């Protein structure tokens, strides 16, 4: 057996009537014996273990389900077990009766690949009758007037429209009142700014003219800011307060800034330093010490 180069090459077939030397033998995966090309199948060499991994299925005539026969087990026992556990006779009609196209004269079975559902009448048809004119489609279904929930639907729609109208009316009233309030606030602000401008102009004009102080020590008068009601003992202090707090940048447009010298004794303002010296010498005995 074999060749001079490969002395162990080839084996005899295990079939008693064959015993042929095969240089490329086949080993059975069930009985683990060696066979030639002619006897390599299970049936040719009558393999005793051929049904170990056999997958034989029998269709149940009651429920149309497949029942797998277990190797080394009596088929009658397998059948009794199926009947007592998972046999459902109602499944037979569903499994054997196939759905067909409802178009008159068309008996095409409706399968997964040739079934089209019409979007208007929601009925399944075959590919040949998938269009509306082919299966005489009645069109989209209309809601029945006697539908139990139609009254509730219409009532809810009326309530929604009424709520939308009331919301729009209330929003328009709110917008009108808001505009009126804004207009009144703007008018009052403009009036206040006009009054402040007039008072500031008068105070600056008085300072330019060199009008004396109106302190509480001389005649008991007190100067008051027309905007913030702050009190000052002299016009000069009031002017400085207005320029520093209420005017932009400390200067008023169109008015030239004037330097005012204040008497340290009586707080009287003078535009000319010479006039201040003469005032001190005349009214305070020549001394400027407060």
3-state secondary structure of 35: strand
Mean predicted lDDT score pLDDT of the chain: 76
Whole-angstrom Cα distance, residue 206 to residue 45? 137
**Residue 96 pLDDT > 70:** yes
Token pair 């042929």: residue: 20
Give the mean pLDDT of 107-135. Answer: 89
Measuring CA to CA, which residue among 214, 240, 210, 215 is closest to residue 225?
Answer: 240
Q: pLDDT: is 186 or 126 the higher one?
A: 126
Dump pLDDT digits (tens) for 208-218: 555 544 434 44
Q: How many residues are given for the chain?
A: 290
Per the structure block, which two tokens stand in for 284? 């305070």
The model scores a pTM over 0.75: no
Helical ranges in 137-219 per DSSP H: 150-209
Dump pLDDT digits (tens) for 157-201: 677 777 666 666 666 666 677 677 777 767 777 777 777 777 777
Write the DSSP symbol of residue 32.
-
**Residue 52 pLDDT > 90:** no
Domains of the chain in start order, with CATH, are 10-51 (4.10.1110.10), 53-97 (no CATH), 99-139 (no CATH)
For 64-68, 69-73, 168-172, 175-179, which range has the lowest pLDDT when averaged over its residues?
Answer: 168-172
Token pair 């095969």: residue: 22
**Residue 267 pLDDT > 90:** no
Q: How far is CA 195 from CA 143, 145, 227, 237, 242, in A?
A: 72, 72, 9, 20, 13
Whole-angstrom Cα distance, residue 185 to residue 264? 44
Q: How confident is the model at residue 220 (pLDDT cuts 50, 70, 90)?
A: very low
Give the mean pLDDT of 50-59. Answer: 78
């Amino acid at each position: 057996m074999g060749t001079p180069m490969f002395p162990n090459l080839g084996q005899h077939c295990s079939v008693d009537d064959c015993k042929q030397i095969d240089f490329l033998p086949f080993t059975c995966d069930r009985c683990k014996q060696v066979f030639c090309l002619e006897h390599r199948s299970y049936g040719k060499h009558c393999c005793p273990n051929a049904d170990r991994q056999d997958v034989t299925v029998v269709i149940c005539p009651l429920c149309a389900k497949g029942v797998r026969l277990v190797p080394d087990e009596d088929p009658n026992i397998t059948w009794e077990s199926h009947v007592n556990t998972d046999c459902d006779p109602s499944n037979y009609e569903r499994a054997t009766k196939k759905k067909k196209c409802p178009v008159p004269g068309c008996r095409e079975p409706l399968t997964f690949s040739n079934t089209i559902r019409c979007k208007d009448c929601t009925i399944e048809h075959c590919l040949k009758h998938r269009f509306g004119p082919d299966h005489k489609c009645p069109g989209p279904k209309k809601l029945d007037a006697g539908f139990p929930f139609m009254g509730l639907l219409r009532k809810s729609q009326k309530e929604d429209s009424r709520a939308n109208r009331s919301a729009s009316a209330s929003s328009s009233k709110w917008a009108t009142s808001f505009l009126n309030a804004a207009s009144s606030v703007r008018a009052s602000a403009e009036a206040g700014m006009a009054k402040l401008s007039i008072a500031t102009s008068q105070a600056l004009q008085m300072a330019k003219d060199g009008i004396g102080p109106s302190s509480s020590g001389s005649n008991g008068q007190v100067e008051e800011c027309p905007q913030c009601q702050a009190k000052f003992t002299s016009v000069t202090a009031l002017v400085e307060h207005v320029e520093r707090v209420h005017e932009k940048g400390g200067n008023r447009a169109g008015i030239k800034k004037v330097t005012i010298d204040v008497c340290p004794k009586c707080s009287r303002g003078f535009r000319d330093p010479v006039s201040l010296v003469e005032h001190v010498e005349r009214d305070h005995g020549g001394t400027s010490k407060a």
